[in-house]
Amino acid sequence: MRKALTLIAAGAAILATPAIAQVGGSVDATVGAGAGPLAGTVGDVTGQVGNTVDRVDGAVNGTIDSAKLVVATREQVRAGAQVTDTAGNSVGTVQSVDGDNAVIVDGGKLYNIPLAALYSKADSVTGPLVTKLSKTEIRARVHGSGGAETH
């Protein structure tokens, strides 16, 4: 009788093993097949974006560091001072200072640039001011009430 019970228990275990293996195998295969390539793609894209951001950040910081820029003083932000971007392209001319902003004129339009976003070369008191803001960011800072452009 003991032998019969052992055989029944062993038979049940043998019969259950393939069913459990099939469920586990199919779940693993589905998850592995679905997530594996996707996970690899996401990882690749994330890595590429991270590398691009690192390169651009390094280039900008290298440009700024090589120019030895320091935050411009209020005395340096005066009417008539030229403003350039970090590449040396003209952004405009300081028309006046309004609170914590410099009012920059470019092409007949007035823009606000925060004083904290204006830099000067550490070794030059009379050189142009430099901003790290892009043209798009500057154009979004239209001077005047209600965002209307002033001519």
Residue ranges per domain, the chain? 1-67, 70-147
Q: What is the pLDDT of residues 106-121, one digit of tens each?
A: 999 999 999 999 998 8
Nearest alpha carbon to residue 80 among 105, 116, 115 = 105
Q: What is the pLDDT of residues 73-82, one digit of tens each?
A: 888 999 999 9
CATH fold of the domain at 70-147: SH3 type barrels. (2.30.30)
CB 85 within 8 A of CB 92: no
* pLDDT per residue rounded down to tens, the chain (151 residues): 666 556 666 666 665 555 555 555 444 444 445 555 666 666 676 777 777 766 765 555 555 555 688 899 888 999 999 999 888 889 999 999 999 999 999 999 999 999 999 998 877 667 789 999 988 888 888 876 444 444 4
**Is 72 exposed, middle or buried, given 0-12, 13-18 or 19+ CB atoms closer than 10 A?**
buried
